[in-house]
Amino acid sequence: MRFEAWMRRTPWTVVLVAAALMGLGLLGIARAEVLAESSGRHLFRQLFWLPLCLAAMFATAAWNYRILARYAYGAFLLSLALLVAVFFFPPVNGAHRWIRFAGVGLQPSEFAKVAFVVALARYLMYRDSYRRLAGLLAPLALVLVPVLLVLREPDLGTALVFLPVLFAMLFAAGARLRHLAFVAAAALALSPIVWSQMSREQKSRITALAEQTRAGERPTRDGYHLHQAKQLMALGGWTGSLVRGEAHREASAFSVPEPHTDSIAVVIGERMGLAGWGLTMALFLALAWRTLAVAQATREPFGRLVAIGVAALFATQVLINTAMLVGLLPITGLSLPLLSYGGSSLLANALALGLVVNIALRPGYEVSAEPFRFATS
């Protein structure tokens, strides 16, 4: 592809918004380090990963993404094998989520989300069986395996991401809305069985949403995290401590668990205020909108479905993470894409956005007498 065409077709909104969100993530991680009075190692590690992930994004965009369709199932099976492999490594904080080798940690569930999007796009690209109710069984079976493995770690937050992505891609591929509604209703009808199989800790996180405390009292147990998150977010006001001043002592009194990962949203809210957090949400909205625009402009079915899956993946994670920290969903632990600390999360998201850039550079097949004929230009 000539340089002029490359520059014209590149979705610079995706690249620039991703870079801006990564920068905001650094700001939030730095603030979390100050509030926790830590050594700053999380910030330095994130600074190390940042250029590598940006390079990975552009490297992913360099080759023809259609080649990936041939290896989609293989990549998905590899991600499942890694999800099994985590149980052969020592747990961290009681959870088997990491594969550690030579001091480097890998979180396979982050890459499994992207591999699932690619594998599902490969399955749906030419089939029409999913337009019948019975045809939804295969996609449901495809998502069930990673969900069960991730739940086993346990990681409820990440497991919740897969299902909305599945429904979004099925709907975009042409599945009938009434069939999807029937599946959702059936899942809701089975919720009492799911509740009976949940651990006491998982149940308490859900019931904590309805717990009431007297004015001035600080909740204990599972209600503590939500209370602290709300208080820290409220301290930011409209402009945040970055404009008003440090307010370090007051903010430190409302420390939250995992402020550099799962709770990065409220840390940014404290630092930049409601205005800054509104800007962050606007950037995520712009990212999703531009990714969907790439999908709409793509004639080739595999690329279109991958782009829609990536948009759904980012939107789902943002909605779940923010809803948890304001009390609309139980707190389960889920990173915020591009903002939260973590090399695995940052790299997986960079690879996903690299695929979007790749798809935009190669908009697909020509419309001609020969269906789905590759364009020669």
Q: Per-residue pLDDT tens for 40-84?
A: 788 888 999 999 999 999 999 888 888 998 999 999 999 999 999
> What residues have CB less than 8 Å from 178, skipping those under 6 apart?
none
Instruction: State the average pLDDT over residues 254-281.
Output: 84
Residue 376 forms part of a structural domain: no
Q: Give the C-alpha separation, 365 to 359, whole Å.
A: 12
Flag whether 149 is in a domain: yes
Mean pLDDT of 239-259: 68
Q: What is the pLDDT of residues 291-342, one digit of tens each?
A: 999 999 988 899 999 999 999 999 999 999 988 887 788 777 788 999 999 8
- The per-residue pLDDT for 377 is 36
Provide the phi-psi class of 245: left if phi over 0, else alpha when psi is between -120 and 50, else beta.
Answer: left
Residue 371 lies in a domain: no
Residue 76's pLDDT is what? 96
Q: Could you please report the per-residue DSSP string of 179-247?
A: HHHHHHHHHHHTHHHHHHHS-HHHHHHHHGGG----TTPPP-THHHHHHHHHHHHHHTTTT-HHHH---
The range of the structural domain enclosing residue 232 comes to 3-205+217-361
pLDDT(211) > 80 = no
Structural domains counted in the chain: 1
Dist CA 344 CA 49 (whole Å): 9
Among the listed residues 252, 228, 119, 123, the one whose alpha carbon sits nearest the alpha carbon of residue 175: 123
Residue 375 lies in a domain: no
Measured at the CA of 224, the angle between CA 223 and CA 227, to 5 degrees, comes to: 85
> Does 211 fall in a domain?
no
Band (pLDDT 50/70/90 cuts) for residue 250 is: low
Beta strand extents in the chain (DSSP E only): 99-101, 104-106
Residue 194 lies in a domain: yes
* pLDDT of res. 167: 92
Rounded to two decimals, what is the model's pTM?
0.88
- Evaluate whether residue 370 is within a structural domain: no
**Residue 40 within a domain:** yes
Residue 31 clears pLDDT 60, i.e. is over it: yes
Query: What CA–CA distance (Å, rounded) separates 317 from 345?
Result: 12
Average pLDDT taken over every residue of the chain: 82
**pLDDT exceeds cutoff 50 at 26:** yes
Measured between its terminal Cα atoms, the distance across the chain in Å is: 8
| Across 154-167, average pLDDT | 88
- Cis link prior to 154 (omega < 30° from 0)? yes
Q: Look at the alpha carbons of 97, 353, 61, 303 in this order and tell me if their dihedral is positive or negative.
A: positive
Distances (CA, A) of 228 to 19, 46, 207, 238, 327: 29, 25, 17, 18, 11
Taking each helix axis from N to C terminus, what angle separates 41-62 and 343-361, rounded to the nearest 10 degrees? 20
The larger pLDDT score, comparing residue 148 to residue 220, is at 148
